[in-house]
């Protein structure tokens, strides 16, 4: 090929074009926008009327480990495929229902890639497809890949992907390890459910999106979605790490264990005087207007104590920083059920 009077190999021209051409992979502004984009891409790829009923499983990382980020993506994807522009287009099976069937059939999520098992699960649940995927750490960004597997053929017939910036919230969710996505014997297994339990005041609405209990009943994880109910930014933190989980058997467990606070999405502030908060302002998480932000609390029992109940109550003391002046309020949630 002749370029500017000089002969240039065609392969070099092609390579240069590939390096200079913009990437076809879209980049979303934040986690919520990224999940919305994934849902829209999947809906378009699946086509109108081809799939009516489906299930969504968690998104592990490339090493097969499940994080709170993978759980959150699955939960939000269920919502996005069920409401909004997709309202009425899909009948999405609740993840707790899928988890229950897998447990009854003595299967794990890895079985969903086996043709015989996926056909069996599909017949039990009456679904036509399963949505799964993965998350990959790209440094400053995180790539989300989603795939739709046909129950009939056990093959991928639709896919979607996007990149999201690795914000503090995303990073914290990635660090919240939930164990192996395909658990083997001896690895903690969670029973997850969605719930209609919520708290709301003039600042924030808090919804329960998932609740899990380890197999040995010594660790419980509560996933909440905080949504700013105002038209301005609000700044929140935990007051003295005050958060407690109580079951209906009388077990009371704080979120702080062995000097560690197991919370993702919020930090603790401890001063008792207004002036002292000036040095801790950076610990307050910013919640934009109407933006939904995941916050996860993990509770660990001590010694021989276990969670013996199946209905739980949660409370936490929160500080809202308005014009550098703190205001305290309590978030209380009750009737959180654990379905086995």
For 15-32, how does the pLDDT look when each residue is reduced to its tens digit (9 = 90+)? 333 333 333 455 667 888
C-alpha 209/C-alpha 75 separation (Å) is: 7
Strands 91-93 and 53-56: parallel
Per the model's pLDDT, the better-predicted residue between 79 and 274 turns out to be: 79
Q: What is the pLDDT of residues 214-234, one digit of tens each?
A: 888 898 888 888 988 888 888
pLDDT band per the 50, 70, 90 thresholds, residue 6? very low
Strands 219-228 and 256-257: unpaired
CATH no. for 198-337:
2.60.40
Q: What is the pLDDT of residues 130-167, one digit of tens each?
A: 998 889 888 889 999 999 988 888 888 999 999 999 88
Q: What is the pLDDT of residues 19-66, one digit of tens each?
A: 333 334 556 678 888 998 999 999 888 887 778 899 888 888 776 667
Q: What is the pLDDT of residues 240-286, one digit of tens each?
A: 888 999 999 999 999 887 777 788 888 888 755 445 445 556 778 88
CB atoms within 10 A of CB 193: 20
Equal CATH topology for 31-171 and 198-337 = no
C-alpha 199/C-alpha 191 separation (Å) is: 23
Domain ranges in the chain are: 31-171, 198-337
**For residue 79, what is the enclosing H or E element?**
helix 68-82
Per the model's pLDDT, the better-predicted residue between 263 and 186 turns out to be: 263
Residue 245's pLDDT is 95
Query: pTM higher than 0.85 for the full model?
Result: no
Angle between helices 115-125 and 95-104 (to 10 degrees): 120
DSSP 14: H
Give the C-alpha distances (Å, rounded to integers) separating 244 from 266, 316, 326.
15, 6, 21
Pair 238, 269: CB distance under 8 Å: yes
C-alpha 329/C-alpha 340 separation (Å) is: 33
Sign of CA dihedral 81, 37, 29, 181: positive
- Can you tell me whether residue 331 is helix, strand or coil? strand
At residue 114, φ and ψ (nearest 5 deg) are: -95, 130
Alpha-carbon Rg of the chain, whole angstroms? 23
Q: Which class is 31-171 in CATH?
A: alpha beta
Pair 52, 46: CB distance under 8 Å: no
Sign of CA dihedral 274, 265, 75, 311: negative
């Amino acid at each position: 090929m002749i370029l500017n009077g000089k002969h240039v190999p065609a392969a070099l021209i092609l390579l240069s074009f590939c390096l200079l051409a913009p990437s076809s992979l879209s980049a979303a502004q934040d986690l919520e926008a990224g999940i919305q984009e994934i849902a829209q891409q999947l809906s378009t790829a699946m086509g109108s009327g081809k799939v009516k009923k489906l299930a969504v499983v968690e998104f592990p990382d490339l090493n097969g480990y499940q994080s709170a980020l993978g759980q959150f993506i699955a939960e939000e994807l269920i919502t996005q495929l069920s409401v909004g522009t997709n309202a009425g287009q899909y009948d999405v099976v609740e993840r707790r229902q899928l988890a229950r069937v897998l447990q009854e059939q003595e299967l794990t999520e890895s079985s969903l890639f086996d043709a015989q098992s996926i056909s069996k699960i599909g017949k039990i649940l009456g679904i036509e497809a399963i949505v799964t995927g993965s998350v990959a750490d790209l440094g400053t960004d995180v790539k989300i890949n989603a795939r739709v597997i046909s129950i009939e053929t056990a093959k991928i017939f639709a896919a979607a992907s996007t990149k999201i910036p690795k914000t503090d919230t995303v990073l914290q969710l990635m660090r919240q390890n939930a164990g192996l996505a395909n658990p083997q014997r001896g690895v903690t297994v969670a029973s997850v459910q969605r719930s209609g339990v919520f708290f709301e005041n003039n600042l924030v609405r808090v919804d329960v999106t998932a609740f899990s209990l380890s197999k040995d009943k010594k660790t419980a994880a509560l996933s909440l979605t905080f949504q700013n109910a105002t038209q301005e930014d609000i700044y929140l933190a935990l007051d003295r790490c005050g958060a407690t989980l109580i079951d209906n058997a009388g077990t009371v467990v704080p979120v702080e264990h062995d000097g560690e606070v197991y919370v993702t999405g919020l930090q603790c502030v401890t001063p008792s005087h207004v002036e002292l908060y000036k040095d801790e302002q950076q610990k307050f998480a910013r919640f934009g207007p109407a933006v939904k932000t995941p916050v996860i609390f993990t509770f660990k029992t001590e010694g021989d104590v276990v969670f013996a109940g199946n209905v739980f109550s949660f409370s936490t003391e929160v500080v809202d920083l308005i014009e550098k002046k703190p205001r305290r309020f309590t978030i209380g949630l009750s009737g959180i059920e654990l379905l086995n």
